Chains A and B, each alone.
Chain A
Amino acid sequence: MISKKGKFWISRVLVVCACALLVYSFVALDITPTPPTEEFGFKDGNQESSSSPRLVFMVIDAFRLSFLTSSKSPMSFTKSEITKKSAKLFDAYARMPTVTLPRITAYLTGTLPSFGTVLTNLATAEMKTANWISRIQKIGKKVHFFGDDTWIRLLPRSFEKFEGVTSFFVSDYTDVDNNVTRHLDTELSNTNHSWDALILHYLGLDHIGHSLGGSSSKIPEKLKEMDDVIGRIHKYLKSSTSVDQESYLIVCGDHGMTAAGSHGGASPDETRVPVVIWKFGREEGNKNYGNQDDSLKQPPRIEQIDVSSTIFDVFNMPIPIESYGISLINYFSDDEEEYFEKQHNQFRRIVQAKHLAISDICDENCDYSDKFIKSALKKWFLTVQSELIGSASEVPNKSLGVCVFLLLVALTLSMGLWNLHLSKSDFFIFLINITYFASSLIEEEHEIWYYLGSTVVAIRALRNFKIWNKTEVKSIFFLAFLHRIACSYTQSTRRRWIMDSSLLPPSIFSDTLDFQPNNLNTILNEYPIIVILTCSLFWMYGYKQSKFHIILPMVSHFLRLFELTQFNEVLMHFIRLSILPISYSTGSVLAGCLPLLLAIVPVSQILLLLVIYNMGKLFSKLNLGSVEFVTLCMSSFFYTGNSNSLSTLSLTSAYVGLSSYQPILVGLQLMLYTFSGPILFLCGCNASSCTSLLNHLFSYRISSMCTSLICLYIFQNHLFIWSVYSPKVVYDMAHVIFFGLIGLL
């Protein structure tokens, strides 16, 4: 038999192995060797360099469709260009994961990278897939790039002139864009015909969202700034493009932004981005923009990969075989027959290469001028594309199996550590895993924990009735009350509350008596000074350790409020350094992290943390069991606004008190803030006294990850596989590692 210590360690090592294997196998999906791309005998000979096309490709990070199309949008120039039909607006679909790197890859290569890129988003390696930048650079065109340095890491030798700005330091949203715009002076001077493609990637908008939230007043300002930049480029291209030349300006967003200012999930706000294309010069008049009256309200829906194919067509290059975008060039040229023939041949080749079971529209002699064939082909393109997009999302089945096996072994080992006098009810907690098979229950997982939280407290109250111990009844009621307060704390950020109410079933009873206040989180954010002062008083009263642990973070909040950034940075460094001594003196690492945690949370949540802390105290006072522990601890994870969507990860807290991008500190603060609920709960109930409870929780998390992986396998062709089931696995990995770690402390 394995000793207790052995079980403890082996279970954790196995879990880490399983996670590592999973990450590796997802990442490996993308590194599969690309087939040698033949060069198609393409020659640049027929084009004089003076008449070669020019392209300005401008990416605005987190530029969602409604930033441009809503009536309140300040981008008046771009909007007027679209309504005047000088420019064409498209409604592009940003597929999961909605983070920058995979979205850029889609624009560049016309292929959709797997979900694994969400994990490697921070560690970008050189791009191996055929893309338009390397291609045009190879045929001697000059590419200039200014913006997010991810591009430079993706394509290190492709840019003749470049400057990268760092994408991970989200508190900077002014300089990051000025450093791009200042290059426009030289790049857009008429004397300087130095580039064939100019690529700009503006990060400011995304950074405002991450650091100030989605309803910040800085957003309209930033949109106006972007509109001015577009106006400048437009003016330059219009004046400098001669009649025998073609110039294109493409403005697009990589992913959208939620109402809270984040992204990563699959809501329409995050997945619908605008793509605006201008054409200048030769055949400028020959545009098939269609005769819709409302070009701003109902733009044609496209995929992001379609833009890649369009750019290949702009430069008159053959589209690589991996790419499955549908070119949009037919909107900008008159030669429809050539367009249909080229696209048809491209997709025909892919269908043959991938052995897809889709029959062709017409075999050899297609009459591309026929109206019916054209419309049939359009439909066929979409069918082939959706089939290819579906088959692109592979799941590494074998390693899933190995992972599940490793986790099951770890689960048995960790369950061997449970106390011997178990009641049957301890196993009830595993039943919750059943809910993971329904996608909507994953999305609403917080509701399940909240409801169960209330239920376990109520059951405890009922069992207490026969003894009728007054103080105990009071504590139980107080616990239920705190739980209810904490549940509603961030309610208004939840999917159902943001959703258009017309989509939801109507209310059955009259709502005349109702009033609609904002939730606590929003109200408290409006009066920061009062909130900080009162919260610190409450905390001083409620926290039994040294008061010094509370005062420092509160001072830091004040410094930030009055924008004394430099002092705050020094103080934050001091707080970070004090983790170790405090952990030593209090005997608990979690208590040591408390000052840092209090310093990085948004002002409105200081009170919530106190509520959770007190719940933990009540928990240990009432001496509740493992089911109650797991339910309340998991509820506390969701109190702070977390969900199973990556878009609820808050980067704001991760960057508090940092003036540059420091990956380790950012990672630490991100983890601390994301798990602030469980940390505070454990602080309250004094983690060292509930080792066996933590064991139950760890076992539950392993079983939960196991279930998620099985779901990933079963539902690999499900519509929501990338938007719901895969992020769930990512969260499960984080949970299992976090609670495994907590057990060590």
Chain B
Amino acid sequence: MLSLPVAARFVTLSWAVFYILAVLFGAPFFSDIIATAVLATALTAVSALPAVFLFDSEERAVEVILQLFSCEGNPTPKESVLLFNSVFAFLGAWAAAAVHPLDWDRWWQRYPLPSLVGCFIGAVIGIFIAITRIFVIKRTAYNKTKKR
């Protein structure tokens, strides 16, 4: 777990980044402020908050994040669960925006509900995939040792 001031800074910073990202992707700047804030909070809750408890030092956190973008490095199983969880949460929130332009005019199409739902569903799928993957890797590793 990160120390409290570092954790606070880390969470606030990622919240701000998510807010800015949402606006850059088309969230209204002047209106729906609370809605965007809620979305940013949700994204922070599924990605940055677990990270606070997982990582011991800020350096390691930054290292793992950078490794993710360059698709190299080897995160620990716990870290990989977090990474999958976060990436799929983002993808879910991103893809869910597809329902906005459809003219069904249902209550659940209102921003930011689709993205919130997408974010949580994505997070769950991410965790599921990560755990399966760990399980599969362990299984193959176990099989290999057995053969030997």
Contact = CB atoms under 8 A, between A and B. Distances in A.
A447 interface: yes
Given A451-B97, A513-B33, A441 B70 contact: no
A514 B97 contact: no
Interface in A484-520: 484, 487-488, 503-517
A649 B101 CA distance: 22
Nearest to B31: A514
A522 to B, nearest CB: 13
Contacts of B146: none
Contact of B31 (A481, A503, A505, A511): A511
A514 B30 contact: yes
A510 B113 CA distance: 14
B49 interface: no
Nearest to A514: B31
B85 to A, nearest CB: 18
B106 interface: yes
A621 B34 CA distance: 37
A513 B36 CA distance: 11
A506 B33 CA distance: 15
A480 interface: yes
B107 A484 contact: no
A516 B70 contact: no
Contact of A514 (B24, B26, B32): B32
B103 interface: yes
Interface residues of A, number: 38
- A-B interface, 9 closest residue pairs, ranked by CB to CB distance from nearest: A466-B70, A444-B101, A440-B103, A465-B69, A514-B31, A513-B33, A509-B34, A505-B107, A505-B110
B30 A443 contact: no
A125 interface: no
Nearest to B65: A465
B121 interface: no
A316 interface: no
Contacts of B23: 484
B56 to A, nearest CB: 23
18 contacts: A439-B103, A440-B101, A441-B102, A443-B101, A443-B103, A454-B25, A455-B94, A483-B24, A503-B105, A505-B105, A505-B108, A507-B32, A508-B107, A511-B31, A513-B33, A514-B31, A514-B33, A517-B30
Most B CB within 10 A of own CB, among A438, A441, A444, A514? A514
Interface in B94-141: 94, 97, 100-103, 105-110, 113
B100 A447 contact: yes
B38 interface: yes
Contacts of B32: 507, 509, 511, 514
Contact of A507 (B21, B105, B110): B110
Given A447-B100, A451-B26, A511-B34, A504 B113 contact: no
B54 interface: no
Given A465-B66, A507-B35, A488 B29 contact: yes
Contacts of B30: 514-517
Given A443-B103, A508-B113, A451 B25 contact: yes
Interface bin, chain B? 20 to 34
Interface string A425-465: 00000000000001111011001101100110010001101
Nearest to A444: B101
A462 B94 CA distance: 15
Contact of B110 (A447, A483, A508, A515): A508
Contact of B101 (A448, A458, A504, A516): A448
Interface in B5-40: 21, 23-26, 29-35, 38
A507 B94 CA distance: 20
Contact of A450 (B21, B26, B69, B103): B26
Contact of A454 (B26, B102, B110): B26
Given A484-B26, A513-B34, 17 more contacts: A438-B102, A444-B101, A448-B101, A454-B25, A454-B26, A455-B94, A458-B24, A465-B69, A505-B106, A507-B110, A508-B110, A511-B31, A512-B34, A513-B33, A514-B30, A514-B32, A516-B31
A466 B72 CA distance: 10
Nearest to A488: B29
B91 to A, nearest CB: 11
Contacts of A504: 105, 110
B18 to A, nearest CB: 12
Nearest to A491: B28
Most B CB within 10 A of own CB, among A438, A451, A463, A516? A451
Given A465-B69, A509-B38, A511-B31, A480 B24 contact: yes
B69 A510 contact: no
Nearest to B94: A455
A462 to B, nearest CB: 5
Nearest to A435: B101
Contacts of B70: 465-466
Contacts of A465: 66, 69-70
Contacts of A480: 24
Contacts of A516: 30-31
Given A487-B26, A511-B34, A505 B69 contact: no
A693 B93 CA distance: 31
B10 to A, nearest CB: 18
A698 B147 CA distance: 58
Nearest to A511: B31
